[in-house]
Amino acid sequence: MAIPSLFNGPTTAEQWPARRRQLLDMLAANIYGRTPAIELDQALPFTLLHLNLEDGLAYECHRVFFRKGEAYCSMRFEIFYRPLDTPQPAILMIDVFDSSSANFVEPGLCERCHERLGYKQVTDAGYAAVFIHANDVCNDCPRTFTRGIMEIAPREGPDGWGAIGAWAWAVSRVVDVLWEDPRFDNARLAVIGVSRAGKTALWCGAQDERLAAVISCVSGCGGAALLRGKTGEHIRDMSSQFPHWTCPTYATYADHEEDLPVDQHMLLAMCAPRPLYVSDAIEDTWCDPRKSFEATQMASEVWRLLGREGLVGDEFPPVDTPLLQGDVGYHVRTGGHGLLPYDWECYLTFLKKYFG
Ligand code: GCU
């Protein structure tokens, strides 16, 4: 199956921004839905808790309220950081798996965070670790996803937005808050997500160019993996089990991937020329690591067009052999679906080149 081209014929670096806008619109119209321009009456952040943890680490929990007319919703985000005198880089972690309505993580529960985010590894490397509970504004459920932000901006029509779009929107609202906070360095904000949140990290990074680096872990179908020729999960699986993630049009391509005018290398290309890292796990056949690798290879053409390096590596790498040299990084590690300390080691080594 021929993969659609990134370019409309010969394209120069100067012509890329126009082509980029076109592709972004096609990705929205066919996969993720169009993100509505929401004019809120209020987006109000509150600090709920500030704690000093062990080893000079600080913890904060915030809640942002979003209101338009009578409709409102709110979302938690949490920050682990070491107080510094200079603005520090931050890694924004999209978490859509925490369905507790707790206002904050109790200190005793920090181990759980460690499992989910590895905040110690991140803060030890000199970054603030920001957890974003994006599902607070959009439930990860086909029946109830319309609550929350979709009461303010409902999904409408075949290209109406879905949960991935809403979660990506929510991350950008945290970027708004951090942007105004002198403790964080606006030029050094990275976004990361795992699995469904990995798909979200890519869609968020595609739309919000304030994010200086994008990391996607085991994102698979609807994430980094090319749809054409893919094994494991496909559009039919994703749109029948999770119809709320994407726009309604996406499901119409089930078993007709060849008709989709886009493929996932275009999503990855939206990050160029910013650093992008994609990773997989070898036993995660549902994701199909080889198809993510191929997508990173294909998307790299855009980095090269823009005078950057793209992925350096011609062959699918052996397990646990990260390709860290170019502006697009990739690894496939031993084991199955999920985020492990090994993944963080690779991401942090890669990010260091850019964030110091
Ligand atoms: C399911 C789904 C995947 C998704 C994963 C996850 O396996 O089919 O598309 O990435 O859940 O989010 O853990």
> Ligand 1 pocket test: which of 31, 231, 233, 279 has the largest number of ligand atoms within 8 Å of its C-beta?
233
**Peptide bond before residue 273 is cis, with ω within 30 degrees of 0:** yes
Could you tell me which residue, 209 or 1, shows the higher pLDDT? 209
52-89 per-residue burial string, b: 16 or more CB within 10 A, e: under 16: eeeeebbbbbbbbebebeebbbbbbbbbbbeeeeeebb
Element (H, E) at 278: strand 276-281
CA 246 – CA 35 distance, rounded (Å): 11
User: Residue whose CA is closest, atom 13 of ligand 1?
Assistant: 195
Query: Quick check: is 337 catalytic?
Result: yes
Residue to probe by mutation, ligand 1, list 195, 217, 287, most atoms within 8 Å of CB: 195
Model confidence pLDDT, tens digit, residues 41-59: 999 988 888 888 888 999 8
Which residues 6+ apart lie within 8 Å of 254 measured at CB?
A: 234, 235, 236, 239, 240
Ligand 1 pocket test: pick from 94, 196, 264 the residue with the most ligand atoms within 8 Å of its Cβ: 196
Q: Alpha-carbon distance 116 to 109, whole Å? A: 11
Distances 303 to 14, 241, 300 between C-alpha atoms, Å: 13, 35, 5
- Cβ(238) – ligand 1 distance below 6 Å: yes
Q: Is the pLDDT of residue 104 over 60?
A: no
Does residue 228 register a pLDDT over 80? yes
For ligand 1, whether the C-beta of 78 sits within 6 Å is no
Band (pLDDT 50/70/90 cuts) for residue 1 is: confident
Calculate how far, in angstroms, residue 195's C-alpha sits from the geometric centre of ligand 1: 6
Burial of residue 114 (number of CB atoms within 10 Å: 0-12, 13-18, 19+): middle
Return the ligand 1 atom nearest residue 233 CA: 8
Would you say the CB of residue 221 lies under 6 angstroms from ligand 1?
Answer: yes
Separation of 209 CA from ligand 1 center, angstroms? 26
- Tokens for 3, please give them: 């993969």
Predicted local distance difference test score (pLDDT) of residue 185: 98
Task: Using the atom order of ligand 1, give the atom closest to the CA of residue 198.
Answer: 10
How many whole angstroms separate alpha carbon 90 and alpha carbon 191?
9
**What pLDDT does residue 108 have?**
46
Cα of 220 to ligand 1 centre, how many Å? 8
Q: Is 195 in the pocket of ligand 1 (CB under 6 A)?
A: yes
Extended beta strands in 134-204, E state: 184-194
Query: Is the entire prediction scored with pTM above 0.75?
Result: yes
pLDDT at 116 over 70: no
For ligand 1, say whether the CB of 196 is within 6 Å of any of its atoms.
yes
In tens, the pLDDT along 182-222 reads: 999 999 999 999 999 999 999 999 999 999 999 999 999 99
How does the average pLDDT of the chain come out, rounded? 94
Q: What is the pLDDT of residue 53?
A: 83
Q: Is the pLDDT of residue 113 over 60?
A: no
| Of the candidate ranges 9-23, 105-119, 201-215, 293-307, the one whose mean pLDDT is the lowest | 105-119
**Spatial distance between the Cα atoms of 270 and 320, rounded to a whole number of angstroms:** 27
Which of 62, 133, 195, 292 is the catalytic position?
Answer: 195
Q: Which CATH superfamily is domain 16-355 in?
A: Alpha/Beta hydrolase fold, catalytic domain (3.40.50.1820)
pLDDT confidence of residue 333: 98
> Token pair of 287, please?
């994701």
Other C-beta atoms closer than 10 Å to the C-beta of 41 total 12
Work out which ligand 1 atom sits closest to the CA atom of 241.
8
Considering the candidates 74, 114, 234, 337, report the single residue annotated as catalytic. 337
